[in-house]
Structure 1
Amino acid sequence: EVGPDALRFFFLMRKPDSQLEFDLELAIKESQENPVYYVQYAHARLCSIDRQAAAKKVQPMLPDQVPLERLQEPEEYRLLKTLADYPALVAGAAEGLAPHRIIFYLLDLAGLFHSYYNKHKVITDDPGLTAARLRLCRAMKIVFRNGLHLVGLNAPEKM
């Protein structure tokens, strides 16, 4: 059975003037091939990172104390740039009545995040690096939750 999030996501992936091709098998897959699963899983994975940090008793730093200069990896720069683009993207999507732009943005961000997650540990033995990476992950979590809610989709914390 196809859930409401999958239906809405697939409809919103298309421009209003384009033809909808709905792949039922893809819409029910729980894998990276299913775009709604891929985006929602990114949010759930980010929530899991927060839970892991709490379980390991990682001490949070005040925002002005987080050494963001520790974010030096090329993937981190790409994530930061993509996050910085979000406000203008939302404004443009609203002005142009183009929710598909938010969907494509979330898909791109999910791809960048999953690649980053598979390559780099967020919680490390280095408190400064961990704090910076947690701050980056929390920013992504906020953007995923906001973007999903803007287009009427759930942002699950566990999957």
Structure 2
Amino acid sequence: MEGPVEFWEISLRPLELSDIDDFMVWARDDKVTSFTSYGPFSRKEEGIEYINEVVRPHEWFKAICINNRPIGAISVTPFADSARCRGEIGYVLGSKYWGKGIATRAVKMVVNMIFDEWPHLERLEALVDVENVGSQKVLQKAGFMREGVLRKYCIMKGKTRDMVMFSLLSTDPRI
């Protein structure tokens, strides 16, 4: 992973159990997991359990890779039943890769794929903690619209959190 970031080959692929060591790099990191619903994991067994119970059965979950090596993950979770026209995007990236445009590129890649793969999807949403300014910038650079703050929206890691709602419609222009 030498050279300027614009020349790195960024790809998306399934996250496999064989990727556990790479997964644990970000899953152990307090900075990375402070805005996730999981972790930080202290033991490799926790990561294996997460991959087996959450990642593998997930409908659309991919590793964000540089030269085919996972440095993060991205997923789209469809809403069920009557809200089937919506999906929620989520992503995580190892902290040493923050600020390099990688997450933005991965989000744009997913946007270009998901509306084709799931033609019923009309709206892609993202909920971001108000304190997670970096992730808010990623979504704005990827063309998402900031819709507003949802006050005291959820409890994460024992703390009630305000969340910012972002969306991108299938009919919105792609950046």
Q: What is the TM-score with the length of structure 2 in the denominator?
A: 0.26
Structure with a larger share of its residues in strand? 2
RCO greater where, 1 or 2, for CA within 8 Å and sep 6 or more? 1
Structure with a larger share of its residues in helix? 1
Q: What is the TM-score with the length of structure 1 in the denominator?
A: 0.27
